Amino acid sequence: MTPITDKIKQLPDGVNVWTNICDPVDGKWKTNVQAFDSTDLKAIVSDLEVKKRALEKYDELIMAVVNKYPNETRHETALRYIRERENPSARKMETTRIKESRFGR
């Protein structure tokens, strides 16, 4: 992921990790402000990596929608494509809904 997450993964379990932060008010560095257990940090990094991979897959799916329908987001068009493909009888209902929303009926 990033150099910092790689370093976190390499920490032995059960080690306390202390943070240093810069106070936005006086600009002075504060040390030992927060302690984190390395096991907890590794779990957070792992969770973030799973979420990042899911987001990358979602982005790939959404960006595959080249021509979105008017007044729809790429997400809505992709969802409609999937629903129409999975349930062909829904295609006619969805087309009717789109026409009605476009022409205000």
**Each residue of 93-102: pLDDT tens digit?**
666 666 666 6
Q: Are residues 85 and 49 in the same domain?
A: no
10 and 44 both lie in a single domain: yes
Domain that holds residue 80: 65-105
Query: Do both 12 and 53 map to the same domain?
Result: yes
70 and 45 in a common domain: no
Question: What is the pLDDT at residue 59?
Answer: 93
Q: Using CA atoms, how far apart are residues 60 and 26, in angstroms rounded to an integer?
A: 44
Structural domain count of the chain: 2
Q: Tell me if 80 sits within 8 A of 94, measured CB to CB.
A: yes
Residue 39 pLDDT > 70: yes
Are residues 88 and 51 part of one domain?
no
> What's the token pair of residue 40?
């907890």
pLDDT band at 26 (very low <50, low <70, confident <90, very high): confident
Give percent of the chain with pLDDT exceeding 70.
68
pLDDT of residue 51: 92
How much is the average pLDDT of 25-39? 69
Which own/partner pairs from 47-50 qualify as long-range (CB within 8 Å, at least 24 positions apart)?
48/1, 48/5, 49/1, 49/5
